[in-house]
Structure 1
Amino acid sequence: MWTCRDAVTSPALNLPAWWDPLAARALDARRADFTRWSTPAVGGRPSAVLVLLGESDGEPDVLILQRAARMRSHAGQPAFPGGGAEPGDADAVATALREANEEVGLQPPSVTVVATLPRLWIPVSGFVVTPVLAWWHAPHPVAVMQPEEVARVERIPIAELLDPANRGRVKHPSGFVGPAFAVRSMVVWGFTAGILDTLFELAGWTRPWRPGRLIPLAE
């Protein structure tokens, strides 16, 4: 049985050069950088997601999974690995790593934790989510481990997400309007797209794109 101690958290992170300046700016990130919603002091279900950046052929990528179509909530939606905290989890890092291990078989010793981002409130679901930003220093094959919850898993190149041709916004029937990325036959939107959009801004990676372009959501 692994624990959160299996993930590398040493100050000597030995990150690739492309992590600059994201790693430093992520440490100083504020809730307001990601959302306009204030996080309640009490209440909300604690949860965490793993924002895992790796490298393939010298180019950075991010691990994204697609939720199963029959799930009660977020059905078919691309997301970071993650979920609700359990009593045995020591902290948000432990939650994110446990969930990633259960969902796609990620091995925690392959991960270097870079920063724990601010706790974010998601009113529609009642979750208080802590994104854990990490470097996949020893990538290995991953796959769907819980088909009742996960339909597919992809390592999406950051360059594809930054391509202006793949960027736009979605408008949900609820009235929500936010950033979106159309990649690999998926539309990444909602909480996940919002985190990516902010991290790209913090890193200085964003390329000019057309915010007025609307990307349709599947039924």
Structure 2
Amino acid sequence: MTRPVWIDRARDAISAAESDYFERFSPPEEGGRQSSVLILFGPHDGGGEDVVLTERAHTLRSQPGDVSFPGGKREPSDATPADAALRETHEEVGIDPATVEVVAELPDIYLSPRQFVVTPVLGWWREPGPVDAVDPREVHRAVRAPLSHLLDPAARFTVTHPSGYRGPGFEFDGLFIWGFTAGLLSAVLDFGGLTVPWDRDVERPLPDSYRPGGRRDALTQTATEGRS
């Protein structure tokens, strides 16, 4: 299936260094631990497109239950960041790399508390299929979230935290999407020209279930640093 024009528009706008979001989170010269995530859009059965999201396993020591894009640490066998993103996506949710068209490797983003340099890989799922939590040690469940729902102003809000953090939020099928994932998704949709005006004054505090014992502090700190 031919990928929609807006994905190329997002790629071109971001590569033209028009994105303040990516500049704010650019890695330091000393770098960090390399990882990749796959922002995978595909044709939705009901029309339009959807995006693959995962709910991290609740037994993980790091960010259990968070919503994320499939991906993970780069291995020596990965020739490129895209290779790492495709391998991890196959291992986590069973998507065949041969069915994915890599559109672009986007600028690296630095998650300073964990010293991760994350390469977001923009992809188009030209031969879509079901997704599943193939590796339950890493993924509790996987979903294909329709953009028509995520772009609905009624489903959008600003996430707040007592630390002063403020950032975009989405909600879908019981998943609370915030932090790194929501910011990156929001930026791509903005640069693709899809975003529908929404009320940024509608605020929702980060639920307690996402921050017991400070286990979400890493993402909060990263987002706060990006605003300074």
Bin for the TM-score computed over the shorter chain: 0.7 to 0.9
Instruction: Measure the CA separation in 2 of the matches of 1:65 and 1:122.
Output: 19
What is aligned with 1:180?
169
Report the alpha carbon displacement of residue 174 of structure 1 after superposing the two structures with TM. 4.4
Q: Say which of 145, 169, 181 aligns to 1:192.
A: 181
Report the alpha carbon displacement of residue 91 of structure 1 after superposing the two structures with TM. 1.1
Report the alpha carbon displacement of residue 75 of structure 1 after superposing the two structures with TM. 1.1
What is aligned with 1:7?
none
Q: Are residue 28 (structure 1) and residue 25 (structure 2) matched?
A: no
Higher mean C-alpha displacement, 195-204 vs 36-45: 36-45
Q: Give the direction of change, closer, same or farther, for the CA distance of 1:38–1:16 in structure 2 (3 Å limit).
A: closer
Output aligned runs, 1:1-219, within 5 Å: 14-19=2-7, 21-29=9-17, 32-34=20-22, 36-57=24-45, 58-218=47-207, 219=209
Instruction: Measure the CA separation in 1 of the matches of 2:56 and 2:36.
Output: 16
Instruction: Measure the CA separation in 2 of the matches of 1:142 and 1:195.
Output: 21
Higher mean C-alpha displacement, 209-218 vs 62-71: 209-218
Alignment coverage as a number of residue pairs: 207
Instruction: Measure the CA separation in 2 of the matches of 1:149 and 1:172.
Output: 26
SS at match of 1:138: coil
Report the alpha carbon displacement of residue 31 of structure 1 after superposing the two structures with TM. 6.2
Higher helix share: 2
Q: TM-score, normalised by structure 1?
A: 0.87
Query: Over residues 165-214 of structure 1, what are the superposed CA-to-partner deviations in whole Å (9 max), with x where a residue is unaligned?
Result: 11112123544321110111111111110111111110111111111222
Report the alpha carbon displacement of residue 42 of structure 1 after superposing the two structures with TM. 1.9
- What 5-or-longer segments of structure 1 have no aligned partner? 1-12
Query: Over residues 62-92 of structure 1, what are the superposed CA-to-partner deviations in whole Å (9 max), with x where a residue is unaligned?
Result: 0000001121111111100011111111110
Task: Provide the aligned C-alpha RMSD in A.
Answer: 1.9
Query: Over residues 108-157 of structure 1, what are the superposed CA-to-partner deviations in whole Å (9 max), with x where a residue is unaligned?
Result: 00000111100110112211000000100001222101112111100000
Instruction: Measure the CA separation in 2 of the matches of 1:145 and 1:118.
Output: 29
Q: TM-score, normalised by structure 2?
A: 0.84
| Matched residue type, 1:41 | E
Instruction: Measure the CA separation in 2 of the matches of 1:139 and 1:185.
Output: 23
SS at match of 1:207: coil
